[in-house]
Amino acid sequence: MALPSRGVRFGMRSGDLTVGASGLRWRRGVLGVVGAALMVLSACAGPAQYYAGTGVHDATVAEAAGTWENIENTRLTLRRDGTASFQHLDGRNFDFDDGWRVSGTGTWKLSDDADGQDIRLTMTARTGAGTRSDAAVVDASASAPATYRWSMYVDRDERDALALFFFIGDPDNGSTYVLRKVAAQNAPATATPAADGESER
Domain count, the chain: 2
Sign of the Cα pseudo-torsion (166, 94, 170, 99, in order):
negative
Spell out the residues 6+ positions from residue 142 whose beta carbon is closer than 8 angstroms to its own: 129
Q: Are residues 79 and 142 in the same domain?
A: yes
- Structure letter (DSSP) for residue 172: G
For residue 88, the enclosing domain spans: 61-186
Is pLDDT above 50 for 41? Answer: no
Residue 146 lies in a domain: yes
Residue 33 lies in a domain: yes
Q: Are residues 25 and 118 in the same domain?
A: no
Q: Which residue has the higher pLDDT, 119 or 192?
A: 119
Whole-number Å distance between alpha carbons of 92 and 70 = 14
- Structure letter (DSSP) for residue 196: T
Q: Are residues 75 and 170 in the same domain?
A: yes
Q: Are residues 73 and 32 in the same domain?
A: no
Q: Are residues 106 and 24 in the same domain?
A: no
Residue 185: band (very low, low, confident or very high) from pLDDT cuts 50, 70, 90 = low
In DSSP terms, which residues pair with 116 in a beta bridge?
113
Q: Are residues 128 and 40 in the same domain?
A: no
Flag the least confident range among 15-29, 83-97, 172-186: 15-29
Whole-number Å distance between alpha carbons of 190 and 180 = 18
Residue 201: band (very low, low, confident or very high) from pLDDT cuts 50, 70, 90 = very low
Residue 3 lies in a domain: no
